[in-house]
A and B are shown apart, each in its own frame.
Chain A
Amino acid sequence: MTSIRSLAGACLAALCALAAPASAQNYPTRSITMIVPFAAGGPTDVISRIVTAHMAQTLGQSIIIENVVGAGGTTATTRAARAVNDGYTLITGHMGTHAASVPLYPKLAYHPEKDFEPIALLAGTPILILARKDFPPKDLKEFVAYVKANAEKVNAAHAGVGSVSHVSCELLNSILGIKPVGVPFNGTGPAMNALVAGQVDYMCDQIVNAVPQINAGTIKAYAIATPERNPSLPNVPTTTEAGLPAFQAQAWNAIFAPKGTSPAIIATLNAATVKALDDEAVRKRLLELGSVIPPVSARTPEALATLVKSEIAKWTPVLKPAS
């Protein structure tokens, strides 16, 4: 009995050994699942859908988006970390799940560097410093002076602990050396409602939600935390221009695979992503969202690995005391 079983085991092992390189060579032979750690329709989801729609054409297989929500995206990321590393389960990780989560959740069930293979950076959404329309300061310089002088009075809205608006505002506050009262809301919608209604003073938020409100004059924007101005808000200065160069933040999104995925598969996926980012139609849709498309040098797996390392280093000191 034992001999038959061990023989069967050996055969199985041999089969697996044979199958593995074969699948890497013909990859992909079936549809790929892309886990998106946030709800359908959010910035990460939309960016993932736009890019994967093009990648599917290149790869000749469909890419199915699976939205798994919960615990600031860490539920989905844990699932992806434990998925089979055959290249058929991928995840769109982002600033929160693959960097800010490290200091925020001490019992995190995965590590962004140790449990994932970086594939490619997709696109980032810039962060803006926003305020209610009748907030006294006129520009960023006045804003800095005002919040420092009135640190006991001002309050900052955010979309929930661990959200992009929360962590980026923590970064801003730590640069300014102030601790305003943070008012948590359930998502960007209610937080924006409070800002438009003038119930809270300021907020840091992603560009997508803010552009129509800024253009309608229901809220005001002091600066955009990217090196360059954004085409959808040509009149909003960068933090560097406005005198606060230290505040640089972008909600970046990138594709990751579970640790141990074969280098050949990673190369295939990276090539497909890069091709999508060079496509005119894809670029147009991403730019309409106010997204920033990464330069060619930032699109390699190595560049993404460096980004994750530097982002963890950037967020850890800011968020450690908060959690």
Chain B
Amino acid sequence: MDLFANLAHGFGVAFSPINLLMCLIGALVGTLVGVLPGIGTIATVAMLLPITFGLPPVGALIMLAGIYYGAQYGGSTTSILVNIPGEATSVVTALDGHQMAKQGRAGPALAIAAIGSFFAGCVATVLIAVLGAPLTKLALAFGPAEYFSLMVLGLIFAVVLAKGSVLKAIAMIVLGLLLSMVGSDIETGASRMAFNIPELADGLGFATVAMGVFGFAEIIRNLDFGAEMNRNLVQQKITGLMPTRKDLIDSAPAIGRGTVLGSILGILPGGGAVIASFAAYTLEKKIAKNPSRFGRGAIEGVAAPESANNAAAQTSFIPLLTLGIPPNAVMALMVGAMTIHGIVPGPQVMQKQPDLVWGMIASMWIGNLMLIIINLPLVGIWVRLLRVPYRLMFPSIVIFCAIGIYSVNNAPVDVILAGVFGLVGYWLIKHDFEPAPLLLGMVLGPLMEENLRRALLISRGDWSVFVTRPLSAVLLAIAAGLLVLAVLPSLRAKRDEVFTESES
């Protein structure tokens, strides 16, 4: 078997002391980057890339890859503990993760996030090794029309994210879509809603808005009068660090579904881990017997998105390794890292650089193993962090958020913007608007707009492309079906209301 020979070769490369060390450094840095809110993987990989100039290429890439998937492990930590997502991919984890923490179940939430990530990481590694080449077809089959239809589906799913009013959720999605349109028009380069502020020319950063409406707003809310009780609750009611048997049984199918969804979405160009985590969460809520548990501490709501984001982070290597084309910004930096070392990735990189490709694949499994060994014992330490007095914790969180936001673009304006969004976010929380649909709107917005315009440019304005291309048609049909399903019960409920009123 070729595969086993290749894998054996890969493990031989990955198990060399230097590469093991690189893998460990990557996993550690990744965990740290994930834990620190605001400091994202793109900024970190970009900052560390030059350092790899002097390292052997295989080791350098193993380390950079470790940072990327390692951050998916760490990202959930602050989401769960303090309701501040460490990474864009962990935004949805905060929804149920923090509720679990409030119920004294921060330990099980953190542990299940690590276990889910490990399972997803192992499956995704096998996928890359076994099905990498055939899965490449998926990346090529997804053109602008298919992508637009997928985003429509995502938008319909987005409504499910809301735990309260559907109308308010839709309002937040639309606001998110609007915010995503700030910046340069992709086709003409014209400036939109930038108010002649040069820093807005490239649009609002996702991290800036997320740190504002989640991070800063959460801190303001916690300092709010009356939040005292709530805080003490989180600090005192800590029960068990590890998930119970029931937790594991409940999460197992969610982890499986999250892994499958994440693996598929990771391969698609531009999509990746953020959409995967949102999609996995909405899927769990949609198919749950009792969806009302979500948003109130359902362990599936932590297990599924955390598995999905890790799976997606790893399968996004497939187009890079088989086609030589980076599907997202972090992978583009990986191409950069290869270029710095004189390796130009392309369709033949697997044949020409077996050491690099198979060494990296093998290192992913080793890295995942290291990460779970690092992360499970950390659960106890993280939970203990909850006992840190808030007068010490809040200033440090604010400082880390500010450093993180600044480091994305080295732009002071971003920090100010995050502060403004903090105030906006506080107002929204006070009026029962939830920030998660807003952020999903921001993620989906540009992808939807750009692919709609690309699809129509290529078809010369012919809208039928969306239904004549089979993949796109199927996605739209699913979206339409979901919409009908979503509308039907509310229609029925209204009818019931009418009846009860007439009876009384």
A residues engaging B (CB < 8 A)?
39-43, 45-46, 49, 53, 65, 67-71, 75, 78, 104, 109, 152-153, 155, 160-162, 181-187, 189-190, 192-194, 196-197, 199-200, 208-209, 211-213, 215-216, 218, 285, 288-289, 323
Contact = CB atoms under 8 A, between A and B. Distances in A.
Contacts, number: 133
B340 A41 contact: yes
A190 B268 CA distance: 11
Contacts of B323: 193, 196, 218
A45 B336 contact: yes
A67 to B, nearest CB: 6
A41 B344 contact: no
Contacts of B198: 71, 75, 78, 109
A209 B336 CA distance: 11
Interface of B: 46, 49-50, 53, 139-141, 143-144, 184-189, 198, 201-202, 269-270, 319, 323-327, 331-333, 335-337, 339-340, 342, 344-349, 409-410, 450, 453-454, 457-458, 460
Contacts of B345: 212
Given A190-B269, A192-B325, A215 B454 contact: no
Contacts of B188: 161
Given A194-B143, A212-B346, 14 more contacts: A39-B332, A41-B336, A49-B53, A53-B53, A69-B409, A75-B201, A181-B457, A181-B458, A183-B458, A184-B453, A190-B270, A215-B348, A216-B348, A285-B342
21 contacts: A41-B339, A71-B201, A75-B198, A75-B202, A155-B457, A161-B185, A182-B457, A184-B453, A186-B186, A187-B332, A189-B326, A189-B335, A193-B140, A193-B325, A212-B344, A212-B345, A212-B346, A213-B324, A216-B346, A218-B323, A288-B342
A41 B49 contact: yes
A312 B18 CA distance: 49
Contacts of A192: 325
B339 A208 contact: yes
Contacts of A75: 198, 201-202
Nearest to B409: A70
Contacts of A70: 201-202, 409
Given A40-B46, A67-B46, A155-B457, A193 B349 contact: no
For the residues of A in contact with B, the DSSP-based class is mixed
B148 to A, nearest CB: 13
B189 A200 contact: no
A221 B196 CA distance: 40
Select the residue from A41, A181, A193, A200 with max chain B CB neighbours within 10 A. A41
A5 B346 CA distance: 66
A187 B53 CA distance: 23
A46 B336 CA distance: 8
B84 to A, nearest CB: 26
Nearest to B189: A161
Given A193-B269, A196-B325, A39 B187 contact: no
Given A39-B46, A196-B323, A161 B187 contact: yes
A64 to B, nearest CB: 9
Contact of B348 (A155, A160, A209, A212): A212
A320 to B, nearest CB: 13
Contacts of A193: 139-140, 269, 319, 323, 325, 327
A289 B348 contact: no
